[in-house]
Amino acid sequence: MSKKEINLCDAEGNTTTLPLKTGSHGPTVIDISNLYQQSGYFTYDPGFTSTASCRSAITYIDGEEGILLYRGYPIEQLAAQSSYIEVCYLLLYGELPNGEQLAKFDHIIKHHSMVHEGLKNFYSGFHHDAHPMAIMVGTVGALSAFYHDSTDITQARHREISAHRLISKMPTMASYCYKYSNGQPFVYPQNHLSYAENFLQMMFSLPSEPYKANPTFVKALDLILILHADHEQNASTSTVRLASSSGANPFASIAAGIASLWGPAHGGANEAVIKMLEEMVNSGQNIEHYIKKAKDKQDPFRLMGFGHRVYKNHDPRAKIIRNMCHELVDELGAENQPLFEMAMKLEKIALEDEYFIQRRLYPNVDFYSGIILRAMGIPLNMFTVIFAMARTVGWIAHWLEMMDDPQQKIGRPRQLYTGHKRRDYRSVVDRD
């Protein structure tokens, strides 16, 4: 047996030899794609905790060391020196752009930002207090009904146009959710503004008065977008890959990703963090009460914003955003202080508690991002929408990569069946 193989031996002494594969970083993987044909066995891995579902060259995470790389570049360097639009280019095309490439890409993204006027009618079909994520799932999926000219996924140019359209239109569509729920007129994009500033003006400006976004808010939002732009094969990215593996168009596939992101264990966590912190501030209960609840296995309560499936040391995004959180709260002063102080106290107590230390539960990016968004005046139910806006480029980059992969095939997991064995139908009169 060469060093690039592994032998699996069952209780009957049957041996199956499987190839090993190594990537540029990370653990060696056992290639089990022919395991069933060779041995008659499936593997069982609920939640994919030990399974690489694909090969990918976009993002690398080392959960033990707390490392996150986009196309090889450390997140710390990108957060300090890059911009969201440059990161979008990097994720999509694999390299940082030169000045000319960046200017051209920026121009393209800015000039796809308007949505078809007919799409606006969809918004008024929703109940006035619909959750904006429900509206996003519906309206992003509906884009495929408006942009037929770019949904031939066999053509690379169509794929690229769809990618640009999705990245470009997300802030416009996200702001429309907010405007609709507030009963305010939709605001058109302004192409001279940056991606983040444009979103803020579409969210908060009114036709009746001039608007200028706070530059610290623009900086903080751009940072949040960079930190959330991609995160390897998480639940929503895997959903996009699985949905589009059947040949579904990118608008429908991204809508599926948005649905997956909505859950509180994934993108909904930043909303859940603020709800939890507000309850802690307002209830008058001390923090220990909540720590006790989080540790109690009979109680479904978890400390939101703590723990991560992959990061078991620290979340590198959390460290970066924590500093921005400090900067913003210092600038804005008292109003945001109670939530922030509660977060700092909770962080300190949890990090010293044996339960959290043993299970390696650290604050994640969403523990802090919610505090920033709240300070910027973004309503709670828009938090996950902003996450979706940021992650669209990641979803799209994975979709493009998958479409170019010669090994790509429809995703079709198998199962460990635990239902009834075969049995015969009995007429209703013969049943007990």
- Residues near ligand CMC (CB under 6 A): 231, 234, 265-267, 269, 294, 302-309, 359, 361, 364, 366
Quote the least distance from Cβ 380 to ligand CMC, whole Å. 15
Output 59 or 201, the one with its CB closest to ligand CMC. 59
Quote the least distance from Cβ 308 to ligand CMC, whole Å. 5
Output 148 or 297, the one with its CB closest to ligand CMC. 297
Which contacts of 400-408 are long-range, i.e. CB under 8 A and separated by 24 or more positions? 400/92, 400/159, 400/160, 400/163, 401/56, 401/57, 401/58, 402/54, 402/241, 402/244, 402/245, 403/153, 403/159, 403/244, 405/54, 405/55, 407/55, 408/245
Output 189 or 267, the one with its CB closest to ligand CMC. 267
Output 105 or 362, the one with its CB closest to ligand CMC. 362
Q: Which residue has the tokens 């429309």?
A: 176
The count of C-alpha atoms lying within 13 angstroms of the C-alpha of 276, restricted to the half-sphere facing its C-beta, is 27
111 among known catalytic residues: no
Output 21 or 292, the one with its CB closest to ligand CMC. 292
Quote the least distance from Cβ 421 to ligand CMC, whole Å. 32
Active-site residue, from 131, 308, 315, 398: 308
Q: What are the φ/ψ torsions at residue 24 (nearest 5 degrees)? A: -80, -20
Output 19 or 74, the one with its CB closest to ligand CMC. 74
366 among known catalytic residues: yes
Nearest-angstrom CA–CA distance, 286 and 284: 6
Quote the least distance from Cβ 329 to ligand CMC, whole Å. 20
Quote the least distance from Cβ 381 to ligand CMC, whole Å. 17
Whether residue 113 contacts residue 191, with contact meaning beta carbons closer than 8 Å, is answered with yes
Active-site residue, from 366, 398, 405, 420: 366
First-to-final CA distance of the chain: 59
DSSP string, 23-71: -SSS--EE--TTHHHHHSPPP--GGGTT---S--SSEEEETTTTEEEET
Give the SS3 label for residue 135.
helix
The amino acid present at 164, given as its one-letter code, is H
Quote the least distance from Cβ 270 to ligand CMC, whole Å. 8
Give the SS3 label for residue 8.
strand
Q: How many helices (H) and strands (E) does the chain have?
A: 18, 6
Q: Catalytic residue numbers?
A: 308, 366
